[in-house]
Structure 1
Amino acid sequence: MQQILFIDDEAPIREAVQQWLELSGLAVRTCARAEEALALLDADFSGVVVSDVRMPGMDGLALLERVRALDAELPVIMVTGHGDVPMAVAALQQGAYDFIEKPFTPERLLGSLQRALDKRRLVCENRALRRQVAQRGCIEGRLLGVSRAMEELRRQILELAPTSVSVLIRGETGSGKECVARCLHAFGPRADKAFVAVNCAAIPEQLFESELFGHESGAFTGAQGKRIGRIEHAAGGTLFLDEVESLPLAQQAKLLRVLQEKSLERLGSNRSIAVDLRVISAVKPDLVAEVRAGRFREDLLYRLNVAELHIPSLRERHEDIPLLFEHFAQAAAERHGREARPLGAAELTGLLTRDWPGNVRELANAAERHALGLGGGTGAAAAPQSLGEQLEAFEAQCLRQALQQCRGNIAEVMALLQLPRRTLNEKMQRHGLSRGDFLPAGEE
């Protein structure tokens, strides 16, 4: 939970401010001296510093300088007496977030604090994302996201990666099925072997057999040399069959035989070639329905679907959208030699109210347009929503973020959002949100 660090050498003021803020649901810690406060701060401090300007020993301006040296993005609010306003203006020029003149009302302090806390939360979230990206050897650096759905997906991947079982990945277009498949490969014992991706929907039917199984020279008209097929090329590693539902029935039977016998014969050859590989498949439709419709072999389905992973759509993990967008926009800005453009509140609302039928792929495209300064990068592509609908969507997103941040702890959510329990329960029910969906994995 974010914390307020309040520094003032006068005990009555410290006590009064602490009481005001705690009644408003904020966590507060007070200090009488700047030196005492500095010992409590580091670059990962998630809250806001509020300090009087005139204090014995180290004054507020010296404290501001030390805090900015520690973390230039940590908000510091200066509290000044009537005669210290010119000093406070100088503090703003030196990087203070705001200044408040004594005597001040609780409302004035709370308003400034809420804005500073929101800014600090975004800074901390973006830093956490960048740390994930920097951890290229870790799964968090490959599958970005802080939602519970993504935490669970990463846990499942790490459980399945060391095994050799076939995995079927289900997910909508653009949700990241190949990325998941590559994680299963990268975090398993075959990581140093080939990862061969085959888009089954992109291969003409007459070329399937040659592409998958290979051919010998002269096997058919135009076969002027020997060709190693995709399956043989993946031997020892991983074969990824994207859009596996597009496999022609004739090739399904041949693939099933290869998986059962762990060997293949190139087209035009009678020699069996042993192949040891792991098969990961990806599909958009329900393969059981495809089996019922006679378009997919039931025995092959059982062979491919020993374990199944479901990738949540972007609309199922709205809390990941700001982090993902910032990552894609930063990467695009670096690719094109541009300065990263900040995301405004209206643009953020536009992101959160879109349906994202293209999922992460569509979000990455919007982020690139934003980085290039092109119009329409974050605007709503779906039918325009009324103000009421946009407010409802934004309220739902705020609730999701608070539940995620507090890991389902209702008391902390009430304090964070300053809502009574009954109001919070009504809003959660209206938006279809359940506390259980945000609890840490393994907790009920």
Structure 2
Amino acid sequence: MLSAPMAQVVIIDDEASIREAVRQWLSLSGFQVTALSRAEDCLAALGADFNGVILSDVRMPGMDGLQLLEQLQARDKQLPLILLTGHGDVPMAVRAMQGGAYDFLEKPFSPEALLSSLRRALDTRGLVMENRRLQARACHQDRLQADLLGTSPGMRQLRQQVLDLAGLPVNVLVRGETGSGKERVARCLHDCGPRADKPFVALNCAAIPEALFEAELFGHESGAFTGAQGKRIGKLEYANGGTLFLDEIESLPLAQQAKLLRVIQEQTLERLGANQSIAIDVRIIAATKPDLLDEARAGRFREDLAYRLNVAELKLAPLRERREDIPQLFEHFTQHSARRVGREPPPLSAGRLGELLSHDWPGNVRELANAAERHALGLEAPAREAANSLSGSLAAQQEAFEAQCLRAALRRHKGEIKAVMADLQLPRRTLNEKMQRHGLLREAFIRDL
């Protein structure tokens, strides 16, 4: 079981004896303490997600405690600052509390009074940070609902996995067929995590000639090789602080795999033609269609790199395995394409919808988006069952749709009833009744094929 992180306290005082005494007491009391002599150093060290309390003397050379309060309030009005004051500074400290300070302690203060104030401040800060985390999570859930469309169990699980992984500092491997949305998932992992305000850099490993790959990934200095005019920043360095998305990672040349592995292990790189190492902080999200361990066993991929990239794995289901998402996706892409050209989205016939549901979509979501664009622009061939257009009463439309779904499933499974039952999740009796009502005979679909 992981232990809870130690509460963080920053103590700022220009008097070394006071600073050290407070540091020792708080460390013995179980706090993680950072002791500083200048307020300026505190501002430089604090991150946006600092989950602790700041103790600061009021009177100090350079930036004093009141100026520090003003700077902290500009960053985060709910960041607790406890001021340490001399006797003559009490009225000023009271005014500072009205301006946003959490508390003040008059010197000399007792250790018990300090601990009591600190614990109250830490409890308050903890509630603030938890509330922010929940608000951010709700915001990210809404975003994922819009970016990763679908109501199928697989898509609901994927959104939850992305939400859980987005904030973790681990590399992620995204597996899925061509067109299944791997880059969109990678972008969501980036946008819903703490690196969202840093670069998201995408590189398709299959699109770069092997001779240029090292320069593209690591950059180069001027004159590093013939034609290297001027310094070039590589994708890894450009993504510093953010995310590098490596699509079709299985196409990465073996020589570059070794160099990428070293970058991941050491968090440094060297440009071509340079001797100086550059420290980088990059999260890598890689995408692949085949299993990288299978590629490693075949000698086409380094096993150690596969494990480094696959700290966490997301598997994307092909569209044919989540057919219930097709209507929503098709409508979304149709509306998007129609808006782009200033048109009203055209109606979708029940016959055409049945064709969409029965198609296997080897190109996955990308192929569906292309079909929706053609539909929005009126470029597709008329549906074979145009008579079943979406008109008339709701009951009639439901009957037409049900009939087409049954036809599509029977055609897809060559009249095999057990397969149709599993596909449509219907018991045998219900399927028989529906087929009889719609005049559908199993033998007709066996003959068709």
- In structure 2, the residue corresponding to 1:295 is in which secondary structure? coil
Q: Deviations over 1:251-273 (max 9, x none)?
A: 00000000000000000000000
Shift of 1:245: 0.3
Equivalent residue, structure 2, for 1:238: 243
Select 2:429's aligned residue among 423, 431, 438.
423
Equivalent residue, structure 2, for 1:182: 187
- In structure 2, the residue corresponding to 1:269 is in which secondary structure? coil
Equivalent residue, structure 2, for 1:127: none
Separation of aligned partners in 2, 1:250 and 1:160:
30
Select 1:392's aligned residue among 396, 407, 410.
410
Q: Deviations over 1:361-399 (max 9, x none)?
A: 00000000001101248789xxxxx99862526999998
User: Do residues 294 (structure 1) and 294 (structure 2) align?
Assistant: no
Shift of 1:182: 0.4
Query: Which amino acid counterpart does residue 333 of structure 1 have in structure 2?
Result: A
Structure 1, unaligned runs of 5 or more:
1-133, 381-385, 404-418, 428-444
The verdict on how the C-alpha distance between 1:216 and 1:295 changes in structure 2, with shifts beyond 3 A counting, is same
Equivalent residue, structure 2, for 1:274: 279
Separation of aligned partners in 2, 1:214 and 1:232:
8
Instruction: Kindly report which structure 2 residues correspond to 1:91-170, keeping only aligned pairs within 5 A, or say none.
Output: 138-170=143-175
The verdict on how the C-alpha distance between 1:155 and 1:213 changes in structure 2, with shifts beyond 3 A counting, is same
Equivalent residue, structure 2, for 1:372: 377
User: Do residues 257 (structure 1) and 262 (structure 2) align?
Assistant: yes
The verdict on how the C-alpha distance between 1:426 and 1:241 changes in structure 2, with shifts beyond 3 A counting, is farther
The verdict on how the C-alpha distance between 1:149 and 1:246 changes in structure 2, with shifts beyond 3 A counting, is same
Q: Determine if contact 1:244/1:282 at 8 Å carries over to the other structure.
A: yes
Shift of 1:287: 1.1
Query: Which amino acid counterpart does residue 256 of structure 1 have in structure 2?
Result: L
Separation of aligned partners in 2, 1:160 and 1:235:
20
- In structure 1, the residue corresponding to 2:337 is in which secondary structure? helix
Instruction: Kindly report which structure 2 residues correspond to 1:66-85, keeping only aligned pairs within 5 A, or say none.
Output: none
User: Do residues 360 (structure 1) and 365 (structure 2) align?
Assistant: yes
Query: Which amino acid counterpart does residue 148 of structure 1 have in structure 2?
Result: P
Q: Deviations over 1:238-290 (max 9, x none)?
A: 01000000000000000000000000000000000000010000001111111
- In structure 1, the residue corresponding to 2:370 is in which secondary structure? helix
Shift of 1:423: 2.4
Query: Which amino acid counterpart does residue 335 of structure 1 have in structure 2?
Result: R
Instruction: Kindly report which structure 2 residues correspond to 1:341-360, keeping only aligned pairs within 5 A, or say none.
Output: 341-360=346-365
Q: Determine if contact 1:368/1:377 at 8 Å carries over to the other structure.
A: no
Shift of 1:425: 9.2
Separation of aligned partners in 2, 1:390 and 1:425:
14
Equivalent residue, structure 1, for 2:324: 319
The verdict on how the C-alpha distance between 1:203 and 1:197 changes in structure 2, with shifts beyond 3 A counting, is same
Cα RMSD of the aligned pairs, angstroms, is: 3.0
- In structure 1, the residue corresponding to 2:275 is in which secondary structure? coil
Separation of aligned partners in 2, 1:235 and 1:396:
54
Equivalent residue, structure 2, for 1:328: 333
Separation of aligned partners in 1, 2:419 and 2:247:
32
Q: Determine if contact 1:167/1:280 at 8 Å carries over to the other structure.
A: yes
- In structure 1, the residue corresponding to 2:233 is in which secondary structure? coil
Equivalent residue, structure 1, for 2:202: 197
Query: Which amino acid counterpart does residue 392 of structure 1 have in structure 2?
Result: L
The verdict on how the C-alpha distance between 1:387 and 1:400 changes in structure 2, with shifts beyond 3 A counting, is closer
In our comparison, the structure showing a higher alpha carbon Rg is 2
Which stretches of structure 1, 4 residues or more, deviate above 2 A after TM superposition? Answer: 134-137, 375-380, 386-403, 421-427
Shift of 1:338: 1.7
Greater RCO, 1 or 2 (C-alpha within 8 Å, sep 6+): 1
Separation of aligned partners in 1, 2:374 and 2:382:
5
Q: Determine if contact 1:169/1:282 at 8 Å carries over to the other structure.
A: yes
Q: Deviations over 1:118-162 (max 9, x none)?
A: xxxxxxxxxxxxxxxx99962101100011100000001111100
Task: Name the count of aligned residue pairs.
Answer: 273
Separation of aligned partners in 1, 2:202 and 2:249:
11
- Aligned residues: percent identity? 64
Q: Deviations over 1:92-114 (max 9, x none)?
A: xxxxxxxxxxxxxxxxxxxxxxx
Shift of 1:339: 1.8
Q: Determine if contact 2:421/2:431 at 8 Å carries over to the other structure.
A: no
The verdict on how the C-alpha distance between 1:139 and 1:229 changes in structure 2, with shifts beyond 3 A counting, is same
